[in-house]
Structure 1
Amino acid sequence: MKYLRMLFDNFTLALLGVVLIATLLPCSGEGAVMFGWLTNLAIGLLFFLHGAKLSREAIIAGAGHWRLHLVVFSCTFVLFPLLGLAFKPLFVPLVGNELYLGVLYLCALPATVQSAIAFTSLARGNVPAAICSAAASSLLGIFLTPLLVMLLLGADGDTGSGLDAVLKITLQLLVPFVAGQIARRWIGDWVKRNARWLKVVDQGSILLVVYTAFSEAVVTGLWHTVSAQHLAGLFAVCGILLAVVLLGTRVLGRALGFSVEDRITILFAGSKKSLATGVPMAQVLFVGSGIGAMILPLMLFHQIQLMVCAVLAQRYASRKDEVEAEVQQAVK
Structure 2
Amino acid sequence: MLTKIPLLGRLDPFILGILITVGIASLLPADGSALTAFGWAVKVAIGLLFFLYGARLSSREALHGLRHWRLHVTILAATFALFPILGIAASLLVPSVLTQPLYLGVLYVCLLPSTVQSSIAFVSIARGNVPGAIVSASFSNLLGIFVTPLLVALLMTTEGSGFNLSSVVGILFMLLLPFIAGQVAQRWIGTWVKEHSAPLRFVDRGSILLVVYVAFSEGMNEGIWSTLSIGRLLGLLAVCSILLAIVLSVTWFGSKRLGFSKQDQITITFCGSKKSLATGLPMATVLFASQPIGLIVLPLMLFHQLQLLVCAWMAGRLARRPDAGADLAMSPSR
Per the normalisation by structure 2, the TM-score is 0.92
Gaps of 5+ in 1: 325-332
* Cα-to-partner distance string for 1:263-284 (whole Å, 9 max, x where unaligned): 1110011000110110001000
Which residue of the other structure, out of 103, 108, 123, is the alignment partner of 1:105? 108
The runs of at least 4 aligned residues of structure 1 exceeding 4 Å deviation read 321-324
Following superposition, the deviation at residue 188 of structure 1 comes to 1.1
Following superposition, the deviation at residue 62 of structure 1 comes to 2.2
CA distance in 1, matches of 2:115, 2:182: 19
2:39 maps to 1:36: yes
2:88 maps to 1:85: yes
Q: What residue in structure 2 maps to residue 328 of structure 1?
A: none
Q: What residue in structure 2 maps to residue 178 of structure 1?
A: 180
Indicate the RMSD between aligned Cα atoms, in angstroms: 1.7
* Cα-to-partner distance string for 1:48-76 (whole Å, 9 max, x where unaligned): 00011112353144211111111111111
Q: What residue in structure 1 maps to residue 12 of structure 2?
A: 9
Q: What residue in structure 1 maps to residue 332 of structure 2?
A: none
2:144 maps to 1:141: yes
The letter of the residue matching 1:6 is L
Contact 2:162 2:291 (C-alpha < 8 Å) held by counterparts? no
Following superposition, the deviation at residue 144 of structure 1 comes to 1.1
* Cα-to-partner distance string for 1:233-269 (whole Å, 9 max, x where unaligned): 1110100000000001012210110011101110011
Following superposition, the deviation at residue 11 of structure 1 comes to 1.0
Following superposition, the deviation at residue 178 of structure 1 comes to 0.8
Structure 1 pair 92–67 and aligned structure 2 pair: CA distance change class (3 A)? farther
Which residue of the other structure, out of 67, 70, 79, is the alignment partner of 1:67? 70
Contact 2:80 2:111 (C-alpha < 8 Å) held by counterparts? yes
Following superposition, the deviation at residue 153 of structure 1 comes to 1.7
Q: What residue in structure 1 maps to residue 329 of structure 2?
A: none
Larger helix fraction of residues: 1
2:158 maps to 1:155: yes
* Cα-to-partner distance string for 1:114-138 (whole Å, 9 max, x where unaligned): 1111111111111111111111111
Per the normalisation by structure 1, the TM-score is 0.93
Which residue of the other structure, out of 293, 296, 300, is the alignment partner of 1:294? 296
Comparing 136-145 with 277-286, greater Cα deviation is found at: 136-145
CA distance in 1, matches of 2:17, 2:197: 20
* Cα-to-partner distance string for 1:54-113 (whole Å, 9 max, x where unaligned): 123531442111111111111111101101112322364222222011111111111111
Structure 1 pair 91–306 and aligned structure 2 pair: CA distance change class (3 A)? farther
Gaps of 5+ in 2: 327-334
Comparing 52-61 with 199-208, greater Cα deviation is found at: 52-61
Following superposition, the deviation at residue 173 of structure 1 comes to 0.6
Q: What residue in structure 2 maps to residue 230 of structure 1?
A: 232
